[in-house]
């Protein structure tokens, strides 16, 4: 499509209370090849016509009953459109005051009646070309913005996939199933929602909590996979997985990785300060670590492991209640117990 064809397909709205003037503009513009010329004699309908037609150019008279041209411009610009079409005022008023007022209110040009036909047509052409160029740039910007948004979503999705697979790697090494991280991460998200977190924050904990045990990658198999109980020295080595996880996830400034590091490092801290690796107490433990702790323990208790049978939901809840104020934050424990039916539904949804 050539520039001329694009220009001639533009929508032009002419507003004048004088039918003779409108017919003259209609013949003049159509003779030049403009195919979409719309005429309006009632200025009260100007805003409606503008919204319906979305014109590329407006030809506007000043002296009209009901709403004069200045009032029409005020009404149009009050719509605060992103890309307003140029307005050419065509008026019999030849005073400098009228011209300045029109330009101050947003008109791009001012033509006095009677006008020279070719001069008006050139002004129409120039302003249309400029407006169409602006529209093309705006469309290109929107396309680029959409491309950037799509690419950002793709990168975000890839990062989340890597995060989840890293978490699953640690679980498989520990002879647990990938569904454990699905259950505990969705329970963590549910608890965050009940605490009043934003949607963004809830999505963060959903995708950060799968890396809670990533540090187990650094634990020797002889300890990690030992069928029997660990001795004191082996248990101290096992406990280092929290510190290892924190170190593995350090150094990234994204919200996701900061939360993932906090969870990996702090999900074995306890409310009363008796946890590890740093013996943090109460509010000193990041809230995401406190949430992941109770979600992790509940799922571990109620799941089958090579070294134990699954606890019943009732037994697990009794244990969590007993640990309120010791292992778990009392407020979080209360929320957990209140919503155990919904939490159990999450657990069943992601069963092995």
- 224, 214, 216: which is closest to 167 by C-alpha? 214
Letter string b/e over residues 193-225, b meaning 16 or more CB atoms within 10 A of that residue's CB: ebeebeeebbbbbbbbbbbbbbbbbbbeeebbe
Task: Burial-class residue 177 by CB neighbours within 10 Å (0-12, 13-18, 19+).
Answer: middle
d(C-alpha 322, C-alpha 52), whole Å: 67
**Contact criterion met (CB below 8 Å) for 194 and 211:** no
| Active-site choice (113, 117, 216, 308) | 216
Element (H, E) at 268: none
Element (H, E) at 281: none
| DSSP letters for 71-122 | HHHHHHHTT--SSPPPEEEEES---HHHHHHHHHTT-SEEEESSPPHHHHHH
**Contact criterion met (CB below 8 Å) for 16 and 22:** yes
User: Is 216 among the residues known to form the active site?
Assistant: yes
Catalytic residues: 216
């Amino acid at each position: 499509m050539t520039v001329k064809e694009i220009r001639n397909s533009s929508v032009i709205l002419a507003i004048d209370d004088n039918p003779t003037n409108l017919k003259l503009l209609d013949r003049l513009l159509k003779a030049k090849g403009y195919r979409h010329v719309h005429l309006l004699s009632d200025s009260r309908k100007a805003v409606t016509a503008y919204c319906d037609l979305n014109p590329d150019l407006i030809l506007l008279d000043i002296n009209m009953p009901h709403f004069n041209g200045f009032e029409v411009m005020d009404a149009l610009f009050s719509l605060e459109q992103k890309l307003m079409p140029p307005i050419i005022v065509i008026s019999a008023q030849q005073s400098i005051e009228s011209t300045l007022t029109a330009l101050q209110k947003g008109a791009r040009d001012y033509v006095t009646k009677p006008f020279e036909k070719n001069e008006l047509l050139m002004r129409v052409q120039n302003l249309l070309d400029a407006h169409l160029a602006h529209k093309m740039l705006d469309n290109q910007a929107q396309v680029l913005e959409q491309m950037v948004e799509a690419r950002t979503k793709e990168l975000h999705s890839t990062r989340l996939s890597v995060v989840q697979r890293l978490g699953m790697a640690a679980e498989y090494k520990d002879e647990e199933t990938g569904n454990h991280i699905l259950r505990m991460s969705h329970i963590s998200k549910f608890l965050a929602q009940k605490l009043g977190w934003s949607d963004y924050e809830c999505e963060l904990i959903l995708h950060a909590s799968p890396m809670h045990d990533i540090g187990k990658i650094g634990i020797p198999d002889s300890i990690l996979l030992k069928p029997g109980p660990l001795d004191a020295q082996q248990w101290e080595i096992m406990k280092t997985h929290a510190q290892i996880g924190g170190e593995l996830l350090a150094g990234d400034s994204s919200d996701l990785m900061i939360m993932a590091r906090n969870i990996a490092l702090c999900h074995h801290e306890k409310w009363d300060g008796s946890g590890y690796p740093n013996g943090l107490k109460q509010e000193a433990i990041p809230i995401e670590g406190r949430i992941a702790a109770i979600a992790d323990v509940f799922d571990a208790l109620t799941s089958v492991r090579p070294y134990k049978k699954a606890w019943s939901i009732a037994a697990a809840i009794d244990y969590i209640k007993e640990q309120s104020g010791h292992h778990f934050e009392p407020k979080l424990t209360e929320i957990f117990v209140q919503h155990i039916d919904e939490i159990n539904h999450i657990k069943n949804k992601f069963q092995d």
